[in-house]
Amino acid sequence: MLALDFPAAAAALDWLARHPQAPRQVKVGLELFTAAGPAVVESLRAGGRRVFLDLKLHDIPQTVAGAVRAAARLEVEWLTVHAGGGAAMLRAAAAAATEAGPAAPKLLGVTVLTSLDDAALAELGLPGTTAERARRWAALCRAAGLAGVVASAREAAAIRRECGPGFLIVTPGVRPAGVAPNDQARVATPAEALRAGADYLVVGRALTAAQDPDRALAELQAEIETAEEDANRI
């Protein structure tokens, strides 16, 4: 999934037009959605893109349920809610998605942001490690009826064991070998993420901010293909 972390719709759409080999799955996050709103989602879908709307919804159950219904009307394929909102909020989100029928987005619970580490959790007064919290919140999301979670590669294997096959794991903080981690604390290479059990990899600045995006994309695809071949030989 390509993270479209751009400040305006025109910049995102122009980048995609200049790089037609980019993934068909694209992530619209808080920055772009706040700047451009539903119109950018509609433009992306009109261009044949599968949209992952990453809003990390976190509010009282009724409000989150209403936001899920609104997102369903946009026909996005994936939508995030924050696992920290609690079981009642997660169940309300799942129920709202079910009401949408075939147009329902797949709900993904955000576990622990990849910018956080154990020290950051302690500062927030949250007990346990990032791995423990991600696993527990993933189990909460599964019990509430969500399709999967967003979690770093470092927690993906434990989540897979906890939640079983068929439960989606979307992994952000993916950095091809040699790419700087920027503001991410828990990063992984594509090979590491796939070995850990990730279903989708989210890659943004490693491609969109690259000096040669097409070359960076080709190298990323080759790295993924090699990792998949290695996995099939095991």
Q: Cα–chain-centroid distance for residue 55?
A: 10
Q: Distance between CA 185 and CA 116 in Å, rounded?
A: 6
Give how far Cα 187 sits from Cα of 101, 127, 153, 156, 191, Å: 35, 22, 7, 12, 12
Phi, psi of 171 (to 5 degrees): -115, 110
The one catalytic residue in 9, 32, 44, 56 is 56
Phi, psi of 74 (to 5 degrees): -80, -10
Q: Cα–chain-centroid distance for residue 71?
A: 16
The question of whether 106 is a catalytic residue gets the answer no
Q: What amino acid positions are annotated as catalytic residues?
A: 56
